[in-house]
Amino acid sequence: MKYSIKVGAADKINSDCIAVVVWNKGGLSEEAQLADKVSNKGISKIVRSEDFTGTLGQTHIVYNPIGLKSKRLLLIGGGEIKKLDAKNASRMLTAGLKAVFASNAASVHFAVASLNVKDETPAWVCQRLAQEAETASYRYNTTKSTKSKAVSANLISVSPSKGARRKSLEEALKSGSAIGAGINRARHLGNLPGNICTPSYLADEAAAIGNKHSSMKVKILGEKQMSRLKMGSLLSVSAGSAEEAKLIVMEYKGAKADSKPHVLVGKGVTFDTGGISLKGGGGMDEMKFDMCGAASVIGVMATVAQLKLPINIVGLVGAVENMPSSTATKPGDIVMSMAGKTIEVLNTDAEGRLVLCDVLTYAERYQPRSVIDIATLTGAAVATFGSHVSALLSNDDKLTEELIDCGKRSLDRVWPLPLWEEYQPLLNSNFADIANIGGPRAGTITAACFLSRFAEKFKWAHLDIAGSAWHSGAQKGATGRPVALLVEYLSQQKA
């Protein structure tokens, strides 16, 4: 998709489709008023017919509109003008894009210069539009014989908002499109089946991104190198699998070489059978999504390289497959983590934390400014939050606030759970320094407590995306969350 800022009154724009906003009960935006005037009250008539009344997300296409140069006029319902915040604006844009993408229009112009979104700038609108245009045109085709048709539109233009610098709007369109591409990359990796998207596949994907950008160096460590590093906990998860585990290291340099980086750590369990603590059969296919944390890290790294963010960032992925076999780790086995703490594996299905703890220890070498791990870690997070928000647990209150705020702006929200020390004793073990499960209660918190023992040397946040990373049911598929949140967070950091 191509994006541009295009100057001109709504009636002079020559596009396959021009989109204007109509408010609830037929209040016309400036651009809609102009279109109404040149079309002999064409819009007013539609509103009076009540076919279209401007409720939020409603759309209506008029073909060959009178008085306009464009072939189609798309009316988008904006809902109540006073309630136009980031969330509603996004719903409106989503609906508008869906309507154009369902048509054969090859180009679309959004005449939304007069739009005023609460707490957000015109640049935000441009960024969001481009991001959503990218994500709305994603199609999964890899393993289908009949490929779904790509959207017809290949050009999206926007009117320049009054008072906004054209350059900043163009930049916003570029970042939105890079974020959308990062989201789609994460979705795609998530959607690929476990027999394609193996640890080696994730490693190749990361390496390909490294080859594309001179600012990015990618290293892949195999099992031999990881045993030399004494990553006994991570390796215990892949012990039962024929697929070799990989530690993927992506180092992006957008600032001076000695500027300390921010580190992202992704859980990359390319399939989670539960291991010897085997999961039940129902819905087990969805455990191919257990690498969505890793996918989000890879997506973010591709995006930040494209955006040339002026900071240093390291993306780390622990990629493993969790399988039962005669060589698999058994309940009761005790493994030695890279940090030197022994772990009693009471349940081989609590494998994500076993992977992450060694990768967190690996992260220490960077003396990071912050570390954020992203993981589909617990079913309890799904029970607590459902799919709308990712769970956030952190050892730093300021980082918590920052992430909540970035979540609101990116509409990729997170919400905190307590990481109080009262929960820590649930992880006591009679035979090792720590057990890998904390019993049936407070599962998301005890999982984070486990990780916190390996995150004492830096500012750290843990995002449990078990509920937000994919949709189940008829719309089954990865969401690409929390790529947008993380890019927002990193964009706000300074070297």
Cα distances (Å, whole numbers) of residue 461 to 65, 100, 360, 380: 52, 39, 11, 18
Backbone angles phi, psi at 309, to 5 degrees: -60, 140
Residue 373, interface with Zn ion (CB under 5 A)? no
Token pair in block for residue 29: 């935006």
Q: With respect to Zn ion, which residue has the nearer C-beta, 290 or 464? A: 290
CA–CA distance, 493 with 311 (Å, rounded to integer): 7
Binding partner at 379 among ligand BES, Mn ion, Zn ion, none, C-beta below 5 to 8 Å by kind: ligand BES
User: Is omega for the bond preceding 482 within 30 degrees of 0, making it cis?
Assistant: yes
Beta-bridged to residue 4, according to DSSP, are: 157
Give the H or E element holding residue 94. Answer: helix 86-102
Residue of the chain from 30, 321, 349, 488 that contacts Mn ion (CB under 5 A): 349
Contact residues for 102 (Cβ-Cβ < 8 A; gap 6+) = none
Beta carbon nearer to Mn ion, 272 or 488: 272
Residue 347: name its binding partner from ligand BES, Mn ion, Zn ion, none (Cβ under 5 to 8 Å by kind): ligand BES
Q: Cβ(210)–Cβ(251) under 8 Å?
A: no
Q: What's the half-sphere exposure (Cβ side, CA atoms, 13 Å) at 400?
A: 12
Residue closest to 42 by CA, chosen among 64, 22, 65: 65
Q: Is 466 in the site for ligand BES (CB under 6 A)?
A: yes
Q: How far is the CB of 269 from Zn ion (least distance, A)?
A: 5
Rule CB under 5 A: is residue 16 a binding residue for Zn ion? Answer: no
Choosing from 128, 246, 353, 453, the catalytic residue is: 353
Phi, psi of 412 (to 5 degrees): -130, 80
- Region binding ligand BES by CB under 6 A among candidate stretches 57-65, 122-130, 229-237, 375-383: 375-383
Q: Tokens for 17?
A: 């489709």
279 a catalytic residue: yes
In the set 248, 307, 382, 399, which binds ligand BES (CB under 6 A)?
Answer: 382
272 binds Mn ion (CB under 5 A): yes
Which member of 311, 437, 442, 487 binds ligand BES (CB under 6 A)? 437
Quick note: the x/- pattern for Zn ion over 387-426, rule CB under 5 A, is ----------------------------------------
Q: Total number of residues binding Mn ion (CB under 5 A)?
A: 3
> Does the annotation mark 353 as catalytic?
yes
Collapse the DSSP code of 219 into the 3-class scheme (helix H, G, I; strand E, B; otherwise coil) and give the result.
strand
Give CA–CA dist 361/247, Å, rounded.
Answer: 12
The residue number with the shortest CB distance to Zn ion is: 272
Q: Which residues in 277-306 contact ligand BES (CB under 6 A)?
A: 290
Please identify which residue in 16, 132, 351, 412 interacts with ligand BES, judged by CB under 6 A.
351
CB 352 within 8 A of CB 244: no
- Minimum CB distance to Mn ion, residue 23 (Å): 48
Give, as ranges, the residues between 325 and 354 that touch Zn ion (CB under 5 A).
Answer: 352
Near ligand BES by CB under 6 A: residue from 232, 275, 443, 482:
443
The 334-336 sheet, strands edge to edge:
334-336, 342-344, 434-435
Cα–Cα distances in angstroms (integers) from residue 490 to residues 179, 311, 462, in the given order:
12, 8, 15
Which residues lie near Mn ion (CB under 5 A)? Answer: 272, 349, 351
Which residues lie near ligand BES (CB under 6 A)? Answer: 272, 290, 347, 349-352, 376-380, 382, 437, 443, 466
Catalytic residues: 279, 353
Which residues lie near Zn ion (CB under 5 A)? Answer: 269, 272, 290, 352
